[in-house]
A = this chain, B = another copy of it.
Amino acid sequence: MKVAILGATGQNGTSIVNGLLASTKTRFDIAALVRPSSLKKPNVIELQSKGINIVSFNLDDPEDHLAAQLKGIDVLIVCCLIDEAILVNAAKKAGVKRYVPCFYATVMPRGIQTLRDTKETTLDHIQRLHLDYTVIDVGLWYQISLPRLPSGRIDRNLFLYNSAIGGSGDIPCARTDSRDVGRYVARIITDPRTLNQKLFAYTDLRTQHELYDTRTADEIDDGIARTKDDPYKMMDYYQFTYQKSYDIMGENTPDYARYLGYQISKDLYPDMEGISFEDFFEETLEHGLKPMHEEFADMLRGSSSFVFQGEAITK
Protein backbone atom coordinates (compact mmCIF):
# COMPACT_ATOMS: atom_id res chain seq x y z
CA MET A 1 0.00 0.00 0.00
CA LYS A 2 1.40 3.35 -1.08
CA VAL A 3 1.12 6.00 1.61
CA ALA A 4 2.21 9.64 1.38
CA ILE A 5 2.55 11.79 4.50
CA LEU A 6 2.62 15.54 4.72
CA GLY A 7 4.14 16.55 8.05
CA ALA A 8 6.14 13.34 8.55
CA THR A 9 8.73 14.95 10.83
CA GLY A 10 6.25 16.34 13.39
CA GLN A 11 4.99 14.78 16.61
CA ASN A 12 2.13 12.89 14.92
CA GLY A 13 4.07 12.39 11.67
CA THR A 14 6.93 10.63 13.46
CA SER A 15 4.50 8.40 15.32
CA ILE A 16 2.72 7.57 12.06
CA VAL A 17 5.95 6.76 10.19
CA ASN A 18 7.02 4.48 13.05
CA GLY A 19 3.56 2.89 13.25
CA LEU A 20 3.52 2.09 9.54
CA LEU A 21 7.10 0.74 9.58
CA ALA A 22 6.30 -1.48 12.58
CA SER A 23 3.17 -2.95 10.99
CA THR A 24 3.37 -6.71 10.46
CA LYS A 25 -0.05 -6.98 8.79
CA THR A 26 0.59 -4.70 5.83
CA ARG A 27 3.74 -3.64 4.03
CA PHE A 28 3.62 0.11 3.46
CA ASP A 29 5.54 1.93 0.77
CA ILE A 30 5.96 5.33 2.45
CA ALA A 31 6.68 8.71 0.89
CA ALA A 32 7.27 11.85 2.95
CA LEU A 33 6.15 15.00 1.14
CA VAL A 34 8.68 17.63 2.19
CA ARG A 35 8.85 21.31 1.30
CA PRO A 36 11.92 22.08 -0.83
CA SER A 37 13.53 24.29 1.82
CA SER A 38 13.45 21.45 4.36
CA LEU A 39 15.00 18.69 2.23
CA LYS A 40 18.40 18.98 3.92
CA LYS A 41 17.15 19.13 7.50
CA PRO A 42 18.54 16.44 9.87
CA ASN A 43 15.11 14.97 10.66
CA VAL A 44 14.42 14.57 6.93
CA ILE A 45 17.79 12.84 6.42
CA GLU A 46 16.85 10.58 9.33
CA LEU A 47 13.56 9.68 7.64
CA GLN A 48 15.48 8.75 4.51
CA SER A 49 17.77 6.46 6.50
CA LYS A 50 14.65 4.61 7.70
CA GLY A 51 13.75 3.78 4.09
CA ILE A 52 11.20 6.55 3.56
CA ASN A 53 11.02 8.08 0.07
CA ILE A 54 11.61 11.80 0.33
CA VAL A 55 9.56 13.76 -2.21
CA SER A 56 10.11 17.47 -2.74
CA PHE A 57 6.60 18.90 -2.53
CA ASN A 58 5.67 22.55 -2.78
CA LEU A 59 2.10 23.53 -1.91
CA ASP A 60 2.56 26.72 -3.93
CA ASP A 61 2.91 24.65 -7.13
CA PRO A 62 -0.10 24.48 -9.47
CA GLU A 63 -2.80 21.98 -8.54
CA ASP A 64 -2.15 19.82 -11.62
CA HIS A 65 1.50 19.53 -10.74
CA LEU A 66 0.63 18.40 -7.21
CA ALA A 67 -1.92 15.96 -8.64
CA ALA A 68 0.77 14.47 -10.92
CA GLN A 69 3.03 14.01 -7.88
CA LEU A 70 0.23 12.21 -5.99
CA LYS A 71 -0.56 9.82 -8.86
CA GLY A 72 -0.54 6.21 -7.65
CA ILE A 73 -0.80 7.10 -3.94
CA ASP A 74 -3.38 4.95 -2.12
CA VAL A 75 -3.57 6.90 1.13
CA LEU A 76 -2.61 10.52 1.72
CA ILE A 77 -2.11 11.46 5.38
CA VAL A 78 -1.92 15.09 6.45
CA CYS A 79 -0.54 15.79 9.90
CA CYS A 80 0.33 19.44 9.91
CA LEU A 81 -1.91 22.47 10.19
CA ILE A 82 -2.19 23.99 6.71
CA ASP A 83 -5.00 25.11 4.42
CA GLU A 84 -5.70 21.69 2.89
CA ALA A 85 -8.02 22.84 0.08
CA ILE A 86 -5.49 22.65 -2.78
CA LEU A 87 -4.21 19.32 -1.47
CA VAL A 88 -7.74 17.90 -1.35
CA ASN A 89 -8.33 19.05 -4.94
CA ALA A 90 -5.04 17.54 -6.10
CA ALA A 91 -5.75 14.27 -4.26
CA LYS A 92 -9.15 14.02 -5.96
CA LYS A 93 -7.59 14.64 -9.38
CA ALA A 94 -4.86 12.10 -8.70
CA GLY A 95 -7.37 9.40 -7.72
CA VAL A 96 -6.06 9.02 -4.16
CA LYS A 97 -8.15 6.24 -2.58
CA ARG A 98 -8.29 7.54 0.98
CA TYR A 99 -7.54 11.01 2.29
CA VAL A 100 -6.78 11.43 6.00
CA PRO A 101 -7.10 15.12 6.91
CA CYS A 102 -5.33 16.64 9.90
CA PHE A 103 -7.61 16.04 12.90
CA TYR A 104 -5.83 13.96 15.64
CA ALA A 105 -7.45 15.85 18.49
CA THR A 106 -10.22 15.58 21.06
CA VAL A 107 -13.83 14.96 20.03
CA MET A 108 -15.79 18.22 19.84
CA PRO A 109 -18.91 19.56 18.10
CA ARG A 110 -18.80 22.48 15.68
CA GLY A 111 -18.93 26.03 16.98
CA ILE A 112 -16.72 25.61 20.06
CA GLN A 113 -13.24 26.31 18.65
CA THR A 114 -12.08 27.98 15.45
CA LEU A 115 -9.24 25.46 15.02
CA ARG A 116 -11.67 22.56 15.11
CA ASP A 117 -14.12 24.36 12.81
CA THR A 118 -11.33 24.83 10.26
CA LYS A 119 -10.79 21.07 10.29
CA GLU A 120 -14.52 20.47 9.78
CA THR A 121 -14.47 22.95 6.90
CA THR A 122 -11.77 20.81 5.28
CA LEU A 123 -14.04 17.78 5.72
CA ASP A 124 -16.93 19.70 4.10
CA HIS A 125 -14.67 20.43 1.12
CA ILE A 126 -13.65 16.75 0.89
CA GLN A 127 -17.32 15.71 0.94
CA ARG A 128 -18.26 18.19 -1.78
CA LEU A 129 -15.62 16.50 -3.98
CA HIS A 130 -16.91 13.01 -3.04
CA LEU A 131 -13.31 12.10 -2.12
CA ASP A 132 -12.99 9.00 0.08
CA TYR A 133 -11.66 9.91 3.52
CA THR A 134 -11.15 8.86 7.11
CA VAL A 135 -11.13 11.30 10.03
CA ILE A 136 -9.06 10.17 13.02
CA ASP A 137 -9.28 11.75 16.47
CA VAL A 138 -7.06 10.44 19.28
CA GLY A 139 -8.10 12.42 22.35
CA LEU A 140 -5.45 14.13 24.46
CA TRP A 141 -1.83 12.91 24.33
CA TYR A 142 -0.44 11.47 27.57
CA GLN A 143 2.57 13.61 26.77
CA ILE A 144 0.70 16.82 27.49
CA SER A 145 -1.49 15.45 30.28
CA LEU A 146 0.98 15.46 33.14
CA PRO A 147 0.93 17.88 36.04
CA ARG A 148 4.14 18.93 37.74
CA LEU A 149 4.76 16.90 40.91
CA PRO A 150 5.78 18.68 44.13
CA SER A 151 8.58 16.13 44.54
CA GLY A 152 10.03 17.19 41.19
CA ARG A 153 10.40 13.49 40.30
CA ILE A 154 9.06 13.86 36.76
CA ASP A 155 10.62 17.22 36.00
CA ARG A 156 13.26 15.69 33.78
CA ASN A 157 12.22 16.52 30.24
CA LEU A 158 8.80 17.57 31.50
CA PHE A 159 9.13 20.56 29.22
CA LEU A 160 5.39 20.83 28.97
CA TYR A 161 2.70 20.20 31.49
CA ASN A 162 -0.89 20.99 32.10
CA SER A 163 -1.02 23.58 34.86
CA ALA A 164 -4.79 23.77 35.22
CA ILE A 165 -7.69 21.48 34.62
CA GLY A 166 -11.17 22.80 34.05
CA GLY A 167 -14.28 22.54 36.18
CA SER A 168 -14.67 19.94 38.90
CA GLY A 169 -12.10 17.62 37.36
CA ASP A 170 -14.50 14.66 37.46
CA ILE A 171 -15.39 14.58 33.76
CA PRO A 172 -13.93 11.60 31.88
CA CYS A 173 -11.49 12.47 29.10
CA ALA A 174 -9.90 10.10 26.55
CA ARG A 175 -6.10 9.99 26.21
CA THR A 176 -3.56 8.19 24.08
CA ASP A 177 0.22 7.87 24.12
CA SER A 178 1.48 9.98 21.25
CA ARG A 179 3.64 6.99 20.17
CA ASP A 180 0.50 4.87 19.69
CA VAL A 181 -1.09 7.28 17.20
CA GLY A 182 0.82 5.63 14.33
CA ARG A 183 -0.11 2.12 15.43
CA TYR A 184 -3.79 3.10 15.35
CA VAL A 185 -3.33 4.81 11.98
CA ALA A 186 -1.71 1.67 10.48
CA ARG A 187 -4.79 -0.39 11.45
CA ILE A 188 -7.33 2.20 10.45
CA ILE A 189 -6.07 3.03 6.93
CA THR A 190 -6.06 -0.63 5.88
CA ASP A 191 -9.58 -1.26 7.19
CA PRO A 192 -12.50 -1.00 4.74
CA ARG A 193 -14.90 -0.43 7.67
CA THR A 194 -13.32 2.94 8.37
CA LEU A 195 -13.68 4.37 4.86
CA ASN A 196 -15.74 7.59 4.97
CA GLN A 197 -16.05 7.36 8.73
CA LYS A 198 -14.88 9.32 11.73
CA LEU A 199 -12.73 7.21 14.01
CA PHE A 200 -12.07 7.83 17.67
CA ALA A 201 -8.86 5.94 18.51
CA TYR A 202 -7.87 6.28 22.16
CA THR A 203 -6.39 4.16 24.91
CA ASP A 204 -7.24 5.61 28.31
CA LEU A 205 -10.46 7.12 29.65
CA ARG A 206 -10.38 8.76 33.07
CA THR A 207 -11.19 11.91 34.95
CA GLN A 208 -8.67 14.53 36.02
CA HIS A 209 -9.81 14.80 39.63
CA GLU A 210 -6.52 13.59 41.03
CA LEU A 211 -4.69 16.50 39.41
CA TYR A 212 -3.94 19.76 41.17
CA ASP A 213 -5.34 23.09 40.19
CA THR A 214 -8.82 23.45 38.89
CA ARG A 215 -10.25 26.19 36.78
CA THR A 216 -13.96 26.91 37.05
CA ALA A 217 -16.33 26.84 34.09
CA ASP A 218 -16.75 30.61 34.45
CA GLU A 219 -12.99 31.17 34.38
CA ILE A 220 -12.79 29.12 31.20
CA ASP A 221 -15.61 31.10 29.55
CA ASP A 222 -13.88 34.33 30.61
CA GLY A 223 -10.64 32.99 29.19
CA ILE A 224 -12.29 32.20 25.85
CA ALA A 225 -13.83 35.67 25.66
CA ARG A 226 -10.48 37.26 26.56
CA THR A 227 -8.32 35.34 24.05
CA LYS A 228 -10.68 34.69 21.15
CA ASP A 229 -9.79 37.58 18.89
CA ASP A 230 -6.18 38.09 19.97
CA PRO A 231 -3.73 36.43 17.56
CA TYR A 232 -1.03 36.54 20.26
CA LYS A 233 -3.23 34.50 22.61
CA MET A 234 -4.07 31.82 20.05
CA MET A 235 -2.61 28.93 22.03
CA ASP A 236 -4.42 30.05 25.17
CA TYR A 237 -7.64 30.28 23.20
CA TYR A 238 -7.16 26.73 21.90
CA GLN A 239 -6.43 25.49 25.39
CA PHE A 240 -9.47 27.20 26.94
CA THR A 241 -11.78 25.88 24.19
CA TYR A 242 -10.32 22.37 24.46
CA GLN A 243 -10.87 22.54 28.20
CA LYS A 244 -14.41 23.79 27.80
CA SER A 245 -15.06 20.83 25.50
CA TYR A 246 -13.34 18.05 27.43
CA ASP A 247 -13.31 19.19 31.06
CA ILE A 248 -16.69 20.93 31.23
CA MET A 249 -18.81 19.39 28.48
CA GLY A 250 -17.24 15.90 28.66
CA GLU A 251 -17.09 15.67 24.89
CA ASN A 252 -13.79 13.83 24.63
CA THR A 253 -15.43 10.53 25.50
CA PRO A 254 -16.50 7.46 23.53
CA ASP A 255 -20.15 8.11 24.48
CA TYR A 256 -20.17 11.58 22.96
CA ALA A 257 -18.09 10.41 19.99
CA ARG A 258 -20.71 7.72 19.27
CA TYR A 259 -23.40 10.39 19.57
CA LEU A 260 -21.58 12.39 16.87
CA GLY A 261 -21.40 9.31 14.63
CA TYR A 262 -17.83 8.18 15.27
CA GLN A 263 -16.68 4.60 15.24
CA ILE A 264 -14.57 3.62 18.25
CA SER A 265 -11.19 1.91 17.94
CA LYS A 266 -11.85 -0.40 20.90
CA ASP A 267 -14.91 -1.81 19.09
CA LEU A 268 -13.05 -2.38 15.82
CA TYR A 269 -9.71 -3.56 17.25
CA PRO A 270 -10.43 -5.24 20.60
CA ASP A 271 -7.11 -7.12 20.30
CA MET A 272 -5.08 -3.91 20.20
CA GLU A 273 -3.66 -2.68 23.49
CA GLY A 274 -2.43 0.88 23.54
CA ILE A 275 0.27 1.90 26.00
CA SER A 276 -1.48 2.34 29.35
CA PHE A 277 -1.26 5.63 31.17
CA GLU A 278 0.27 3.77 34.14
CA ASP A 279 3.07 2.35 32.00
CA PHE A 280 3.64 5.75 30.45
CA PHE A 281 3.82 7.36 33.88
CA GLU A 282 6.14 4.68 35.31
CA GLU A 283 8.45 5.18 32.36
CA THR A 284 8.36 8.95 32.82
CA LEU A 285 9.24 8.57 36.50
CA GLU A 286 12.21 6.41 35.57
CA HIS A 287 13.52 7.95 32.35
CA GLY A 288 11.89 11.36 32.15
CA LEU A 289 9.72 12.41 29.25
CA LYS A 290 11.00 12.09 25.72
CA PRO A 291 11.50 15.61 24.34
CA MET A 292 8.71 16.76 22.06
CA HIS A 293 9.17 17.71 18.48
CA GLU A 294 10.52 21.22 18.31
CA GLU A 295 7.94 22.72 15.98
CA PHE A 296 5.13 21.61 18.21
CA ALA A 297 6.91 22.86 21.31
CA ASP A 298 7.50 26.19 19.56
CA MET A 299 3.84 26.44 18.78
CA LEU A 300 2.82 25.80 22.37
CA ARG A 301 5.43 28.10 23.86
CA GLY A 302 3.83 31.27 25.09
CA SER A 303 0.65 29.57 26.25
CA SER A 304 -0.15 30.38 29.84
CA SER A 305 -1.92 27.06 30.29
CA PHE A 306 1.05 24.91 29.40
CA VAL A 307 4.29 25.63 31.19
CA PHE A 308 7.68 24.62 29.87
CA GLN A 309 10.58 23.30 31.85
CA GLY A 310 12.99 26.06 32.67
CA GLU A 311 10.32 28.71 32.40
CA ALA A 312 8.23 30.26 35.13
CA ILE A 313 6.15 27.70 36.99
CA THR A 314 3.32 30.05 37.82
CA LYS A 315 1.52 32.08 35.19
Contact = CB atoms under 8 A, between A and B. Distances in A.
Interface of A: 109-112, 124-125, 127-128, 130, 132, 196-198, 249, 251, 256, 258-261
A112 B128 contact: yes
A226 to B, nearest CB: 21
Contacts of A125: 111
Contacts of A127: 109-110, 259-260
Contacts of A261: 196-198, 261
Identical chains bound together, number: 2
A197 B261 CA distance: 7
Nearest to A125: B111
A111 B130 contact: no
A71 to B, nearest CB: 23
Contacts of A260: 127, 196
A259 B130 contact: yes
Contacts of A109: 124, 127-128
Given A109-B124, A110-B124, A261-B261, 12 more contacts: A109-B128, A110-B128, A111-B124, A111-B125, A130-B249, A130-B251, A130-B256, A130-B259, A196-B260, A196-B261, A197-B261, A198-B261
Nearest to A251: B130
